[in-house]
Structure 1
Amino acid sequence: MPTSRTNPGPAAAARNRAALLEAAHAVFAESGTAAPLSSIARRAGVGQGSLYRHFPDRLSLVAAVVEENVAELEAAAAADGATLADLLGTTTRHAVESVAVVDLLVADRPGRMLQLRERVETALAAHLDAALAAGDVPPGTTVADVMLGVELVAGALTRRPPAERTATAVHAWRLLGMRVVLP
């Protein structure tokens, strides 16, 4: 005889949203942002209806994943002793884990993605003067240069298998003359 499951209702909403974001990070890392949303719902252990209640479309889900990455970068930027090299390391890890997600952030997109990009620029800019003084970036480097570096590194990673991405990213930053510390 089948057992009936109790619907936890609104109490499950936060848990489901967190599970969906965790699953989206993993699925996007494996298959890119074009992965079927059904695979994200399945991995999160929720129905597609729950996914669409939290994220009405793919861009909403991708933006939420990017938002988590940006919040992590901002927290790293606020930490005592944080350096631009540390922040570029965090950004590089995000790119290595899912280059398509970072690619959406570095593109000039209106609305929410542009706001997230501006938050990344602010976090990086706060540490640029110290990086210039320490010689961690070439003299005269601007925050626009650093953001272009992020875009160039992310672009290079799109053509590499996941196993080669970290080494490729480190090499690309070295060619750009910027020091990176991977977490």
Structure 2
Amino acid sequence: MTQHPVRDERRPANEGRRAAARNRAALVAAAREIYAEDGLDAPLSAVARRAGVGQGVLYRHFPDRAAIATAVLEENVRQIEQAAASHGTDLAGTLGVLTWHQAESAAFVGILHAVGAAAGSVVPPYAAALSVRVERALRALLPQGHRLAAEEDDLMIAVAMVSGAVTGPTREQRTRRALAAWRLLGVEVGPVRPFEDRDG
């Protein structure tokens, strides 16, 4: 009986779940960058390319545009909710967080603008759901008699108006335009920064 030498080579371990988690994180990070630059209409193939994965991997994690948009925009919305719920943060402070996200992400601006200007337009359900969460967080801080509380829709119409003004090639320009829009509406806005930096 002939014995063959045993090779001391080991097959690479199947990373399974770890690889899947890495791919999902890479896709969300890539989509966040692309959507921040180009908005939610950016091609999904560009997201897969930037993440370094094939489109099949993208669709395995996110079956449609709504799924990946929700994953990307969830962090924006969660920060606004956290700011609103934070002890000592008032409406102006929370609007500062909102304004930072408006200046940072074309995709976030897109959902706020679309929902605020929705008369007769079709708004995707995921965009409407995220916008409702933003409105709920802001409305909880709205003092009685505030100018944005005069009519039921005034708050989100104002947010949509500011979102429409957020244009420009740099974050600084977009922030300046957003603050000018809030000022023209007569609304005070606190420091423009993400929520995590507020205690730092």
Report TM bin, short chain. 0.7 to 0.9
1:61 CA drift (Å): 1.5
Aligned residue among 82, 87, 94 for 2:89: 82
- The number of residue pairs the alignment matches comes to 174
Alignment of 1:100-111 (within 5 A): 100-106=107-113, 107=115, 108=118, 109=123, 111=125
SS in 1 for 2:53: coil
Q: Which has a greater percent of helix?
A: 1
Whether the aligned pair in 2 keeps the contact of 1:23 and 1:40 (CA below 8 Å) is yes
Q: CA RMSD in A?
A: 2.4
Q: TM-score, normalised by structure 1?
A: 0.81
SS in 2 for 1:128: coil
Q: Residues of 2 paired with 1:5 and 1:90: CA distance?
A: 45
Aligned residue among 130, 134, 154 for 1:120: 134
Extract unaligned runs of 5+ from structure 2: 1-10, 194-200
Change (3 A) 1:51 1:167: same
Structure number, greater radius of gyration: 2
Task: Point out 4+ residue stretches in structure 1 off by more than 3 angstroms.
Answer: 4-7, 137-143
Alignment of 1:12-161 (within 5 A): 12-106=19-113, 107=115, 108=118, 109=123, 111-129=125-143, 138=147, 140-141=149-150, 144-158=153-167, 160-161=168-169
SS in 1 for 2:160: helix
Q: Residues of 2 paired with 1:165 and 1:119: CA distance?
A: 23
With 96-105 and 75-84 compared, the bigger mean Cα shift is at 96-105
Q: Residues of 1 paired with 2:128 and 2:39: CA distance?
A: 20
SS in 1 for 2:58: helix
Identity over aligned residues, as a percent?
Answer: 49
Q: TM-score, normalised by structure 2?
A: 0.75
Whether the aligned pair in 1 keeps the contact of 2:162 and 2:182 (CA below 8 Å) is yes
